[in-house]
Amino acid sequence: MLRTVAEEPAASASTPVYGGGSPGELVAIPAGAFTMGNDGTVGYPADGEGPKHEVVLDAFSIGVTTVTNDEYATFAEATGYVTEAERFGNSFVFAGLLPDEFPATRGVAAAPWWREVIGADWRHPEGPYSDLDGRGDHPVIHVSWNDAVAYCTWAGGRLPTEAEWECAARGGAVGLTFPWGNDLEPGGEHRMNVFQGDFLARTPRPTVGRAPARFARTHRTDSVCSRSPATSGSGAATGSTPASTRGRRATTRPVPRRGTPA
């Protein structure tokens, strides 16, 4: 999803002026081909994570971590941007993070453990009683695709495509189930930002971190490859899709790492 002059909308209270921000620390990803997707049993076919196929990419640069709360706060303060969750007045929160006395609210139809919380937004991750104290380096959440695009535009970049995201996340590894190897938890240790503990129980959120790998990718796995073309170029080829185009689901996940043309 490359930004062009013709696509630049007029500035408003919820549309930041283009430019003015910084994309943060980036790492260069060289041009080349990589194998995208997963044919193994650890993937989710319904999410389009297979079959494996080769994708060719032009060179690009991508942020070494997900966008943090502190970074998003800088953007919001500089532009006055108001996220969609703030405008809607609600978002969905994992039930395990809510207090036991939290009143019954509607849940996501296919995932009822995601509960509607009035007043939940990026500044209030678990609702109006919560804040960002001590979580400045955590990934920003409750941001929609539009909110993510607004941030990237202000920072002088764009969202990475699915193919670019997976290429960077793999860190140059070939033939491995995970970027670090084939064992999900080598030595019993988690290597990515994934739910830990008893389901629906409270689990501390890890802060943004880096993995010691070729491309210094973040600790996550997500190999959505449906609709990705064999030759993606800079990621804007017909049929390619940005890394975060899953509607409201994006409000409960970190903003994808920033990407700019190399």
What pLDDT digit, counting tens, does each position of 82-117 carry? 999 999 999 999 998 898 889 889 999 989 999 999
pLDDT at 23: 81
Question: How many Å apart are CA 145 and CA 158, to the nearest integer?
Answer: 11
pLDDT at 50: 82
- pLDDT for residue 252 is more than 70: no
- pLDDT for residue 249 is more than 80: no
Q: What angle do CA 166, 170, 171 make, to 5 degrees?
A: 125
Mean pLDDT score of the chain, rounded to an integer?
74
pLDDT at 30: 93
Question: How many Å apart are CA 11 and CA 259, to the nearest integer?
Answer: 22
Quote the tokens at residue 42.
Answer: 């650890």
pLDDT at 11: 41
Quote the tokens at residue 100.
Answer: 């036991």
Residues above pLDDT 70, as percent of the chain: 67
Instruction: Provide the β-strand partners of residue 238.
Output: none
- pLDDT for residue 33 is more than 90: yes
Question: How many Å apart are CA 122 and CA 142, to the nearest integer?
Answer: 5
Among 44-58, 115-129, 244-258, top mean pLDDT goes to 115-129
pTM greater than the 0.85 cutoff: no
pLDDT at 130: 95
Among 5-9, 156-160, 187-191, 197-201, top mean pLDDT goes to 156-160
Estimate to the nearest angstrom the gap between the alpha carbon of 155 and the chain centroid.
Answer: 16
Estimate to the nearest angstrom the gap between the alpha carbon of 80 and the chain centroid.
Answer: 22
- pLDDT for residue 163 is more than 90: yes
**Between residues 32 and 3, the one the model is more confident about:** 32
pLDDT at 230: 55
Residue 143's contacts (CB-CB under 8 Å, 6 or more residues apart) are 72, 83, 85, 122, 151, 250, 251, 255
Beta strand pairing status for 53-57 and 231-233? parallel
**Between residues 171 and 245, the one the model is more confident about:** 171
